[in-house]
Each structure stands twice: as structure tokens, then as C-alpha cells.
Amino acid sequence: MHLPTWLLADATPLPTPSMTVNPDQVSPGFIGFVGIAVVAIAVVFLLADMLRRIRRAGYRADIRDELDAEQAADAGEVTPERPAKD
């Protein structure tokens, strides 16, 4: 028998590690589910609120631009919407 074959045949396999921890004790369980659900609901409400605020800011900017254009028209100023007459 060759030396490498003899060494491989003589080697004993290492035992496979067994799970020593109870899987029920390391999972987050119901409390973890409730915690993640609360965070998810809070994120949905925060996103809806942010979207509402962004839309409101856009509407306010549009109204502000219209008011500025009206004031410029009343004062007779030259604006991009109302070029100067020669």
C-alpha cells in the first residue's frame, strides 16, 4: 500500500457539529414580529406624510410664482411672461 493511501485510509473523519442551541430560543418570535410590523407601519405613515408635504410645498411655490407675476404685471415690470414692448 502506498503511503498517501495508507494515511488517508487511517484518518478518522471528524464528527459533524450538532446544534446545541434550541431554535425556538434564538428566533425573534412574536415580539420580534410585532416590533418589525410597528416599524413598517410607522415608515408607511412617514412616507405618506412626506409626500403630502412635498406636494403642498410645490403648490405653494406655484401660487407664489403666480402672485409674483401678477405684482410684476401691476407694476409694469418686464418678466419672461410679459416682454417689453418697443
CA distances from 80 to 69, 75, 84 (A): 9, 15, 9
pLDDT greater than 70 at residue 10: no
The answer to whether the pTM exceeds 0.75 is: no
Q: Tell me the per-residue pLDDT of 11-44, one tens digit each, with 9 for 90 and over.
A: 566 677 777 877 777 788 899 999 999 999 999 9
Cell of 6: 495508507
Is the pLDDT score of 7 beyond 80? no
Report the distance separating Cα 7 and Cα 43, nearest Å: 61
Mean pLDDT, the chain, integer: 82
